[in-house]
Amino acid sequence: GAVVSQHPSWVICKSGTSVKIECRSLDFQATTMFWYRQFPKQSLMLMATSNEGSKATYEQGVEKDKFLINHASLTLSTLTVTSAHPEDSSFYICSASAGGYEQYFGPGTRLTVT
């Protein structure tokens, strides 16, 4: 149980374009979903927290107009990187919580912006 999927697993896009990443909880309802970013040889950094039907809460330093998060249902959250630039290239990982203490991580999406 507690399986989280992400799609796509990797994506290459050109600078200036937008990319959408989906995060789904497959066997439980996720009241809260989280988006993290991990640069090479760095740890995971929390970008934003989203609750179903509410606006996402962004961490300090994360541009909400650049990283659009939509938590449309209790099983789906999307992250759209708008006007992507090479410095946005990173490993994006979502996690989901059913309201308890533990978070279940998706397999991650590797974004490369050329």
- The nearer residue to another protein, 23 or 81, going by C-beta atoms, is 23
Q: Does 31 bind another protein (CB under 8 A)?
A: yes
Q: Does 107 bind another protein (CB under 8 A)?
A: yes
For another protein, the binding residue among 21, 23, 69, 93 (CB under 8 A) is 93
**Class of residue 85 by CB neighbours under 10 A (exposed 0-12, middle 13-18, buried 19+):** exposed
- Residue from 46, 61, 54 nearest 105 by CA: 46
**Residue ranges that bind another protein, judged by CB under 8 A:** 31-32, 34, 36, 42-46, 49, 51, 59, 93, 95, 97-108, 110
